Each structure stands twice: as structure tokens, then as C-alpha cells.
Amino acid sequence: MTITIAEDIDILNERYSRSWDSRTIIYGRPCCTLVYEACKEYAARLHLLVEQTQGYHIEIAGWKCLSRTEFSKEHMMLKLVAAQLDEALRLWKYLIKRKRCPSPFPHVTTHPWDVELCDALDTLADLEQQTANMDIPQYERFLITRYRDDEAKCQCRQCAPAAEVIWELWDYAAICHKLRPPALFERVFAELRRLATT
């Protein structure tokens, strides 16, 4: 069986797929379409917010003292989110710069950078969830979960894949990515394995 999906999309697992030109990623469940240029713009705004929340240095008798906001939990969380987004963009840029290498399996990505980028986006999503719970003024989430008006779940091929697609993706992951570090493989493919074996 061959996975049938949009012609210009390669899929990694149940929550990550990438366009052939690598400029668009569909991530998460429910899915969120990420465009590289828009993500770079968001990163610039986030770094500006980090600078604005940094606070001012106060100089007393020649000693520089940091204001309280420098060490605040909120400021540190924003810095973590910004650093993780920078890491995701770094990996994503590598994928864009390389020329598309045909996969031995149709519409399945076998590139190790996709595995690392999926893991980076997973970490970013976790950090964003923690940050969103802090109610930081002017902070807007990068990976916004989309909700439909009728509260129905998204039925696209990534959010609601057929059972055969899940089994195939798990087989491809076990073959193509088995040499990834075990902890990384487990983080990226554990849910896919669970879906394929239950």
C-alpha cells in the first residue's frame, strides 16, 4: 500500500509533515500550518518582547544591579521559548537549503533533520503551553491550536489518518529512523507506535 496524501507533502508521523520545498510544515494535532517566513517574523517579535521584559540595570555605587524582572519566572520562560524557536528555525533552515532528495518511499520523509525538527517543535509546544498558563502580557502563542466553530475535530489526513497510513508510517519509521538516538526515536515515534499497535 502507498500513502496517498497531497502531492507535494512528505509525512514523518501523525503530527508532522513537510512540503517538498520545506517552506511549509504541518504540525500538531489538531494541525497548524507553519510557514518559514512567518515564523521568522514571529521570532523577531518574540525577541523584542524578551528585551522589553528584561528590565533595566540599576547602578548603585559603581555596582550594576539587575532589576527583579531579569530573574522573574516569566522572563526566563520567554527566553526559553525564544531559544527553542531559534533552534527549530535553525534546523528548518537546513532543510530549506538542501535540495530535495527523493525518498525511497513515496510521500514519506526519511531525512534525520525532520526527526530533529519534529522533536524541537514538540519541545516548543510544551514550553508554549507552560508560558500560556502564566498570562504574560503581550505574549502570543506561536503554535496556535485551531478550533472549529462547531467544536468538531479536524478531519484532515494528518489529524485523522486512516489506520493503514498509521501502520505504514510506523513501518517506515522503524526502518528509516532506527539509527536515531533511542531517546529521540522514542520521543518522536512513541505515539505513532502506540496508534499502530492498538
- The pLDDT of residue 20: 87
Indicate the SS3 state at residue 25: strand
pLDDT score at 75: 83
Q: What's the rounded mean pLDDT across residues 26-35?
A: 86
Among 147, 89, 118, CA closest to 11: 118
For residue 108, give the C-alpha cell.
514519506
Average pLDDT (139-168) is 71
pLDDT tens-place string over residues 93-114? 999 998 666 666 778 888 899 9
Q: What is the grid cell recorded at 136?
A: 504574560
**Phi and psi for 51 in degrees, rounded to 5?**
-65, -40
DSSP annotation of 154 reads P
Domain ranges of the chain: 9-161
d(CA 67, CA 62): 15
Give the residue from 171, 147, 139 showing the smallest Cα distance to 30: 147
Q: Inform me whether the pLDDT recorded for 61 exceeds 70.
A: no
> In the 8-state DSSP scheme, what is residue 69?
G
Measured between its terminal Cα atoms, the distance across the chain in Å is 20
Length of the chain: 198
**0.85 exceeded by pTM:** no
Among 21-35, 49-63, 126-140, the minimum mean pLDDT is found in 49-63
CB 125 within 8 A of CB 143: yes
Check if the beta carbon of residue 66 is closer than 8 Å to that of residue 189. Answer: no
pLDDT exceeds 80 at position 32: yes
- pLDDT of res. 188: 96
User: Does the pLDDT value for residue 151 go beyond 80?
Assistant: no
What is the mean pLDDT of the segment spanning 119-125?
Answer: 96
Q: Is pLDDT larger for residue 198 or for residue 63?
A: 198
More confident residue, 196 or 157: 196
pLDDT band with cut points at 50, 70 and 90 for residue 63: low
Over the stretch 65-86, which tens digit does the pLDDT of each residue have? Answer: 545 455 578 888 999 999 999 9
Question: Does the structure show a pLDDT above 90 at 182?
Answer: yes
pLDDT of residue 140: 83
What is residue 90's predicted lDDT score, i.e. its pLDDT?
97
pLDDT interval class at 193 (50, 70, 90): very high
